[in-house]
Amino acid sequence: MSKESDPKMKGAGRFAALVAAGILLSRIFGLIRDRVFAHYFGSGDAADAFKAAFRIPNFLQNLFGEGVLSASFIPVYAGLIARGKEEEANRVAGSIAALLALLMAVLVLAGIAATPLLVAAIAPGFEGDKRDATVTMVRILFPGAGLLVMSAWCLGILNSHRKFLLPYAAPVIWNTALIVTMAFFGGSHGEYPLAVILAWGSVAGSALQLLIQLPPVLRLARGLRLFPDISLSGVKTVAVNFVPVFVSRGGVQVSAFIDELLASLLPTGAVAAFSYAQTLYVLPVSLFGMSVSAAELPVMSSAIGGADEVAAQFRARLDSGLRRIAFFIVPSAAAFLAFGDIIAGAIYRTGKFGRADAVYVWAILAGSAVGLLASTQGRLYSSAFYALKDTRTPLHYAIVRVVLTTVLGYVCSQHLPALVGIELRWGVAGLTASAGIAAWIEFSLLRRGLARRIGRTGLRPKYLLMLWGAAGLGAAAGWGAKIAIGDIHPIVAAFLVLGLFGGIYLACAMLMKIPEIRGVTARLGRFIKK
């Protein structure tokens, strides 16, 4: 069966668009949340405490949540559905849900008990009220993380049934809960009490995010029974695939913890600024990297035919996905490098968050731009390995990335500022740049490893040159506009500068006849007609 005749191999672009739409909606509310947060907390001690506190239970979510479950659960569950074994698929899903719920209950309780030790590990530079508030908030936030892990199980069910919009838009509920909490209590409480109240709002939002996904899950997985049946072959396969992905994600999370630790050793504001920058960084990663990878995973997992046919389908899907990712990620990286202060100012510049804070975040974003393309395309290659039910190979390469990120991050954040004669606070930009260098090495290893399995894939140098050329022309024009308009309202500045940048990029893409522009113009045309 050719990829053209297989209906399951069609529509991945539409699925990716649905994922992107859900993520975009969620991220918009996330940016609103962060803008409100910046208004009430700025980059002070309470902001550092909350951001650090959130990182610890979020470790649990990231270890067992979306990425790990998608890599281990979706290939098995989607594969069973593709072969018409829906009853068996639902038995596997119910068993995984039951096992996951039991595990979360144990880990949440253990995390609450071990909170002081965890805070000491991730934020050794915190003392006094700052440390005490962090401990309190971590204990509050842990149950919410467990609920979000179960929400990720719902996402796996929905994605396998090609339902993409709801699970990726569901975090809107969580973000809304935090926004409402800050808006309601922000004017009547100090920073530390408000941060604690915000932690409770986060737990409420986590519960709502799970509850909104349960009804469609129960409709799709009819006859679902929450019983931990470890004798099922599908459950065993999920468990076998889970371990390498878990270790891989664990390594990545440990690396993130180390980044947090290193940031906590820098002057006040580094942790909060790092978090603000990460929120902006993950926007293109989620919209243009995660959306394509998430949509392609169940499609590739459902590929059927002989070995050569499956390999051909994989190559077609990967090359198409890589082009779509690069088309949007290249200008995103250029924007971070040239207009990071404009972007940060438009989102955060209000209340206690001033122009100097925006410039600080810009430096961190510029460091993030180094590995933006590698990180997003690497996600797609990892998804291809997961679809092949090979979770060990990405693990080996992830370990390499973690080691490099840790070593380079320490040198660049703690020692490089003194060597080049700048303030220590700017070392936080070294953390993101180091991660970018490591991402390129991991990407190269993933691409080579997959080539040995399915044949050569990747973007042509000519294609990348056209994209960077278009982005460079747009950035030059935007930079000129940035200088010309001076220090005006940050939202107006963003509209003018980024609008000019984006317009020139798209115009150049049309003139160069870059194929991906057709999809953009087609969607814009349909939107205008509506």
- pLDDT for 210 equals 93
Reference 471, options 362, 344, 333, 363; nearest CA is 333
Dist CA 30 CA 45 (whole Å): 21
Q: What's the pLDDT band for 224 if we cut at 50, 70, 90?
A: confident
Q: What's the pLDDT band for 335 if we cut at 50, 70, 90?
A: very high
Q: Is the pLDDT of residue 138 over 60?
A: yes
Q: Is the pLDDT of residue 233 over 90?
A: no
Instruction: Please give the average per-residue pLDDT across 338-359, as a whole number.
Output: 87
Dist CA 259 CA 477 (whole Å): 35
Q: Is the pLDDT of residue 327 over 50?
A: yes
Q: What's the pLDDT band for 506 if we cut at 50, 70, 90?
A: very high
CA separation, residue 166 to residues 78, 223, 341, 375, 410 (Å): 18, 22, 33, 25, 40
CB-CB contact of 308 with 474 (8 Å): no
Percent above pLDDT 70 for the chain: 92
Q: What's the pLDDT band for 282 if we cut at 50, 70, 90?
A: confident
Please give the mean pLDDT across all residues of the chain.
Answer: 85
- pLDDT for 25 equals 85
- pLDDT for 63 equals 73
Instruction: Please give the average per-residue pLDDT across 195-217, as a whole number.
Output: 93
- pLDDT for 477 equals 95
pLDDT tens, 6-45? Answer: 444 445 556 667 777 787 788 788 888 888 888 888 767 8
Percent above pLDDT 90 for the chain: 35
Q: Is the pLDDT of residue 163 over 70?
A: yes
CB-CB contact of 147 with 209 (8 Å): yes
Domain ranges in the chain are 7-459, 460-519
Q: Is the pLDDT of residue 136 over 60?
A: yes
Q: What's the pLDDT band for 523 if we cut at 50, 70, 90?
A: low
Instruction: Please give the average per-residue pLDDT across 35-59, as a whole number.
Output: 83
- pLDDT for 332 equals 95
Instruction: Please give the average per-residue pLDDT across 143-170, as a whole number.
Output: 87
CB-CB contact of 470 with 512 (8 Å): yes
C-alpha dihedral sign at 503, 344, 322, 26 = negative
- pLDDT for 1 equals 39
Return the structure tokens found at 371.
């590995």
Q: Is the pLDDT of residue 302 over 90?
A: no
- pLDDT for 6 equals 43
CB-CB contact of 417 with 426 (8 Å): yes
Instruction: Please give the average per-residue pLDDT across 52-81, as a whole number.
Output: 78
Burial class (CB in 10 A: 0-12, 13-18, 19+), 306: exposed
- pLDDT for 364 equals 92
Q: Is the pLDDT of residue 446 over 90?
A: yes
- pLDDT for 121 equals 82
Instruction: Please give the average per-residue pLDDT across 406-428, as a whole number.
Output: 86
CB-CB contact of 423 with 272 (8 Å): no
- pLDDT for 417 equals 87
Q: Is the pLDDT of residue 458 over 90?
A: no
- pLDDT for 3 equals 40
Highest-scoring range by mean pLDDT, 63-72, 259-268, 473-482, 514-523: 473-482
Q: What's the pLDDT band for 525 if we cut at 50, 70, 90?
A: low
- pLDDT for 522 equals 61
- pLDDT for 167 equals 83
Go through the chain and tell me how many residues it has.
530
Instruction: Please give the average per-residue pLDDT across 197-208, as a whole number.
Output: 94
Dist CA 339 CA 126 (whole Å): 32
- pLDDT for 42 equals 78
- pLDDT for 4 equals 39
Q: What's the pLDDT band for 339 if we cut at 50, 70, 90?
A: very high
